[in-house]
Chain A
Amino acid sequence: MKKSGKLAALFTVFLKIGAFTFGGGYAMIPLIRREVAEKRDWLRDDDLLDIVAIAESTPGPIAINAATFVGYRMCGFAGALSATLGVVLPSFFILLAVSALLREFAEVRAVVYAFRGIRAGVLALIVRALWTMYRACPKNAAAYLVMGAAFLCAGPLSFSVLPVLLGCALFGLIYTLIREKGGTK
């Protein structure tokens, strides 16, 4: 395929992925695999295995990370740009429309009641996300210590989020390096 054709295809595939996945990044990974490795052989399956690992250990939304990564591996910088633009555009336009709608109907009584109910449901979604992330976490003393410290600092002590994140990252780094040194002896 010619490069311009490939770029256009990348854009449309990621446009489709952006328009039809609800719930963000993790929900997109199987879809990306199907579109890119199964339906077309743009990348092999083992190229894709790393997407999740890379997307999780780099900052930013998983969906953007995955799109940029796949696009770059296929056609370099232009590919990264096409895929990322494709995955972002649907959300962008849908949310512009939604925010205008919400402004219009925010005072309607049924909408006010609906959101009052929805808030309790959202709290359940947050608890569920918390549980999922807790399960994915390594279970050792250091991890529990970081978890507790982050909770205390950001919650009751009301530190801001950024210093807490940086402190925990530094702790993780030092802890890992010390443990590795001990292991090689």
Chain B
Amino acid sequence: MILLRLFLVFFKVGAFTFGGGYAMLPLIREEVLAHGWLDEEQLIDFIAVSESTPGPFAVNVATYVGSEVGGVFGALCATLGVILPSFLVILIAAKCYVRFRQSKLVSGVMAGLRPAVVGLIGAAALPVAAAVFFPAGLSFSVFTDVSFYVSLGIFVLSLVLVFRKVHPILVICLSAAIGVLAGFLL
């Protein structure tokens, strides 16, 4: 029952990620890799696709993975799964939201979750970095490989640009252009 599994996995992602956007990356990465729905490189490619298409990351990734694995109905089940938890929780929170905002339970849980997400994204960034710089595994031979230096150059340039608040879509386009140039010239 691939449709049911898609629904349940993305329901879990929707129910247990706080903060949206990249905060969802660690759990999405774990689930998608564990089920063999995407590999590390496909996931990174997809982050770029999601940044360059409108809409929230979680909905984009659910639709994309769902359609890759189970066609249109797969996309439907995964997307429904990822939005249902927020929808239900907000219905409750909106009804009694003054009490919700002052609740010690909520603020206490958030005091633990906020720094946890930082640590988790840090941990998820490591295998992404490994896939970018050492696509064939860690060994000394990569340091003689020109594509390693191309990746390093793109990474440093992109880092400078994003911290100067250049729009992510521009950064992605530029990285793509350098990648194509380097691929054909070197």
Say whether B142 faces chain A, with CB atoms less than 8 Å apart. Answer: no
Mark interface residues in B128-170 (1 if CB within 8 Å of A CB, else 0): 1101100000000000000100111011001101110000110
Q: A153 to B72, alpha carbons, bound, how many Å? A: 36
Other-chain contact of A58, B48, B89, B161 (Cβ < 8 Å): B89
The docked-state distance in angstroms from the alpha carbon of A78 to that of B15 is: 22
Contact mask A123-146 → B, CB, 8 Å, 1/0?
111111111011011100011101
Which chain B positions have C-beta within 8 A of A56? Answer: 18-20, 110
Beta-carbon contacts of A66-103 to B below 8 Å, as 1s and 0s?
00110011000100100010011011101110111011
Say how far A56's CB is from chain B's closest CB, in angstroms. Answer: 6
Is B64 an interface residue, CB under 8 A from the partner?
A: yes
- Tell me which residues across on chain B come within 8 A of A26, comparing CB atoms: 20-21
| Number of A-B pairs, beta carbon distance below 8 Å | 387
A118 part of interface (Cβ distance < 8 Å): yes
Interface majority SS (helix, strand, loop, mixed), chain B: helix
B115:A147 contact, CB within 8 angstroms: yes
**Among candidates A22, A64, A151, residue contacting B54 with C-beta atoms closer than 8 Å:** A22
Q: Which of B79, B111, B121, B180 contacts A172 (CB 8 A)?
A: B111
Chain B interface size, as a band, is: 35 or more
Question: CB-CB contacts of B42-67 with A at 8 A, as 1s and 0s?
Answer: 00110111011111111110011001
Interface of A is mostly: helix
B17–A59 contact, CB under 8 A? yes
Contacts known (A22-B51, A50-B97); A144 close to B115, Cβ less than 8 A: yes
Pick 10 A–B contacts, CB within 8 A, sort by A.
Answer: A19-B54, A68-B86, A68-B87, A88-B55, A91-B55, A95-B67, A96-B67, A116-B183, A124-B171, A176-B108
Chain A positions within 8 Å of B, measured between CB atoms, are 18-26, 28, 50, 53-65, 68-69, 72-73, 77, 80, 84, 87-88, 90-92, 94-96, 98-100, 102-103, 109-110, 112-131, 133-134, 136-138, 142-144, 146-155, 160-162, 164-165, 168-177, 180
